[in-house]
């Protein structure tokens, strides 16, 4: 019948005269009526089953009581009776399930039970008491899914929206609460003074030792942080390096302090371009190093040129100061290897002047006390470090050669994405390393394959990347010896002649010698013709103030870039030779 009505409604009424919503409502109402009828039928059937179960339970209980009465003694309560009494008294434990019988059917069910043969004649009050213990599971018709998805569909959607936005708001509040609780949790480190990276929490205006007032954060690194502060005692600004509150960083920083104190003691006149350590102290479990405040670094300088590089004249000034600094570090009393020379660790003393100083000796060590195998930033990493050969002071000279080219061209000379890529880029410019270097390198097979005749060839890249032939990317083309500088940008400028570029190229190639034993030393680098453009400028070199003189250097071994090197200039001029002989410092 219901099906017929459902089919008949859209047939008998024209579609254009009856709105679609009316048809939907009719269908929904018919479906609801059918479902309610089915539910009522199921309820009645369930009640009948429940009555039959109670009847059988009553008969069974009656038989048990009769049997038990035959066995009990006079004046004694039967065990079955006690059990039934306990079950009624502790009805909350009784396993009674089912649905509540409607009130209008209660009298009829009671009378039928009383009239049934063998009935126990259970009073209606007892039935109501037992049914009261049965959980009620009646559902309000207004909450039925069908009702919600039909008649109250719009209300349902509104409710869903309200719930969604309420949850979203609650989630945002919980997130804020978690953030605030996380911040509170972070303050638990070092009694609330450190964050979860073990860095000191910087607060502007805070005073260290009632002397150094924190101004701002200058930079951060793996070691910790550097802040700008005002020294109220000396009435000047300083830079404070705050080391992380972790034992490995503290241990390395203590080595840095020791080396800085050695250098500062040896450079009392402050003329060897090394940053000055003023003092150090512990502050809330952090080692703090107080330095003179310098300006921005050479990488920032390159960025200000849009990475087009600085002039060859300014590059020469930087090179002369850096060679002097390396000469100072190489003195026997110090023998310090910086191990991380790069533009970021070379700072201008004044933004309007060319004077510079080397900073960050956090990775440094003394010769013979090498601590780490993985040193130097990749772009400036020497071949001996890449190949796993024992290194010495010469690795800093390699880094300097890379830095000088970058300062003039604006781009890194060897910009490898990884160590294999780095070695391939070096070979593109300098050719293959000498066989005797690779024979002693335990990491040579990482980059090269050894042929049956004992020679070496580069491994084929696993990523399919292609490289130029060894030595085919000439340094002359990179610096623009004949093109007027990198990209021809310096053509016609004073101090950028072909002769100037030839001297610059030759000095860099000597700094980039594969063999650290024949790589140019700081002393002989300062004697190079690149620093002697005129007789007047020759007197401005720093070798006369150097702590020691070196014997003549043998010619470099043949390596990459063959044919681009000039003969070494004399180690020093006649006047220097006369002075050195008189002082007894010349060693033939």
Please give the positions annotated as active site.
340
DSSP assignment string, 513-547 = -S-TTTSPPHHHHHTSGGG-SSHHHHTT-SGGG-S
Q: What single string gives the DSSP state of each residue in 408-440?
A: HHSS-SS--SSHHHHHHHHHHHH-SPPHHHHHT
The closest of 209, 220, 280 to 250, measured between CA atoms, is 280
Backbone angles phi, psi at 45, to 5 degrees: -65, -40
* Cα–Cα distance measured from residue 432 to residue 435, given in angstroms and rounded to the nearest whole number: 9
Which conformational region is residue 388 in: left (phi greater than 0), alpha (psi within -120 to 50 degrees), or beta?
left
Up-side HSE of residue 196: CA atoms within 13 Å toward CB?
5
Binding site for ATP: what residues are annotated?
Answer: 241
Check if the beta carbon of residue 435 is closer than 8 Å to that of residue 455: yes
- Which two three-digit tokens encode residue 110? 């009671």
Distance CA 114, CA 109 (A): 9
Query: How is residue 373 written in tokens?
Result: 């195998």
Residue carrying structure tokens 């190229």: 505
Return the structure tokens found at 174. Answer: 């919980």
Give which of 193, 191, 252, 190 is closest to 221, Cα–Cα: 252
Decide: 314 and 398 in contact? Cβ < 8 Å. Answer: no
Q: Helices then strands (H, E): number in the chain? A: 19, 12
Report H helices in 330-418.
383-387, 394-409
Residue 585 CB partners (closer than 8 Å, separation 6+): 548, 549
User: Are 218 and 243 spatial neighbours (Cβ–Cβ below 8 Å)?
Assistant: no
Compute the distance between CA of residue 275 and CA of residue 346 in angstroms, rounded to an integer.
10
Distance in angstroms (rounded) separating the CA atoms of residues 444 and 466: 20
Question: 369 near 363, Cβ under 8 Å?
Answer: no
Q: What is the rounded CA–CA span in Å between residue 232 and residue 324?
A: 34
């Amino acid at each position: 019948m219901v099906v017929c009505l459902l089919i008949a409604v859209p047939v008998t009424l024209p579609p254009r005269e009856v709105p679609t919503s009316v048809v939907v409502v009719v269908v929904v109402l018919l479906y609801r009526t059918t479902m309610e009828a089915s539910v009522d039928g199921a309820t009645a059937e369930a009640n009948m089953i429940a009555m039959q179960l109670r009847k059988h339970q009553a008969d069974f209980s009656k038989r048990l009581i009769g049997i038990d009465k035959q066995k009990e003694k006079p004046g004694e309560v039967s065990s079955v009776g006690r059990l039934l009494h306990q079950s009624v008294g502790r009805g909350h434990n009784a396993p009674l399930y089912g649905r509540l019988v409607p009130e209008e059917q209660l009298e009829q069910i009671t009378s039928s039970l009383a009239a049934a043969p063998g009935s126990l004649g259970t009073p209606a009050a007892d039935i109501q008491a037992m049914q009261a213990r049965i959980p009620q599971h009646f559902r309000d018709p207004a909450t039925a899914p069908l009702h919600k998805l039909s008649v109250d569909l719009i209300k349902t959607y509104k409710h869903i929206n309200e719930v969604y936005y309420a949850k979203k708001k609650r989630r945002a509040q919980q997130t804020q609460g978690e953030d605030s609780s996380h911040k509170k949790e972070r303050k638990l480190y070092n009694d609330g003074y450190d964050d979860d990276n073990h860095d000191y929490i910087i607060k502007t205006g805070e005073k260290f030792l009632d002397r150094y007032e924190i101004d701002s954060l200058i930079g951060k690194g793996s070691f910790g942080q550097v802040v700008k502060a005002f020294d109220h005692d000396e009435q000047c600004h300083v830079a404070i390096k705050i080391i992380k509150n972790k034992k490995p960083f503290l241990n390395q920083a203590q080595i840095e302090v020791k080396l800085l104190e050695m250098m500062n003691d040896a450079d009392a006149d402050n003329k060897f371009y090394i940053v000055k350590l003023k003092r150090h102290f512990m502050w809330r479990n952090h080692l703090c190093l107080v330095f003179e405040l310098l300006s921005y670094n050479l990488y920032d300088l390159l960025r200000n040129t849009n990475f087009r590089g600085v002039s060859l004249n300014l590059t020469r000034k930087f090179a002369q100061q850096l060679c002097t600094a390396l000469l100072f570090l190489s003195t026997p009393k110090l023998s310090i290897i910086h191990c991380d020379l790069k533009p970021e660790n070379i700072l201008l003393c004044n933004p309007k002047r060319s004077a510079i100083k080397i900073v960050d000796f956090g990775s440094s060590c003394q010769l013979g006390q090498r601590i780490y195998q993985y040193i130097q930033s990749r772009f400036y990493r020497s071949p001996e470090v890449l190949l796993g050969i024992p290194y010495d002071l010469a690795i800093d000279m390699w880094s300097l050669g890379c830095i000088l080219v970058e300062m003039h061209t604006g781009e890194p000379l060897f910009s490898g994405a990884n160590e294999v890529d780095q070695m391939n880029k070096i070979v593109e410019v300098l050719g293959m390393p000498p066989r005797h270097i690779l024979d002693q390198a335990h990491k040579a097979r990482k980059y090269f394959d050894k042929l049956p005749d004992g020679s070496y060839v580069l491994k084929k890249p696993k990523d399919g990347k292609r490289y130029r032939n060894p030595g085919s990317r000439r340094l002359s083309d990179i610096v623009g010896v004949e093109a007027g500088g990198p990209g021809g940008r310096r053509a016609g400028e004073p101090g950028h002649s072909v002769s100037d570029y030839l001297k610059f190229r030759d000095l860099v190639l000597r700094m980039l010698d594969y063999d650290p034993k024949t790589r140019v030393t700081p002393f002989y680098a300062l004697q190079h013709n690149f620093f002697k453009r005129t007789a007047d400028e020759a007197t401005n070199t720093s070798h006369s103030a150097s702590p020691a003189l070196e014997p003549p250097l043998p010619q470099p071994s043949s390596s990459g870039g063959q044919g681009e090197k000039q003969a070494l200039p004399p180690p020093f001029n006649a006047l220097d030779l006369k002075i050195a002989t008189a002082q007894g410092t010349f060693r033939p």
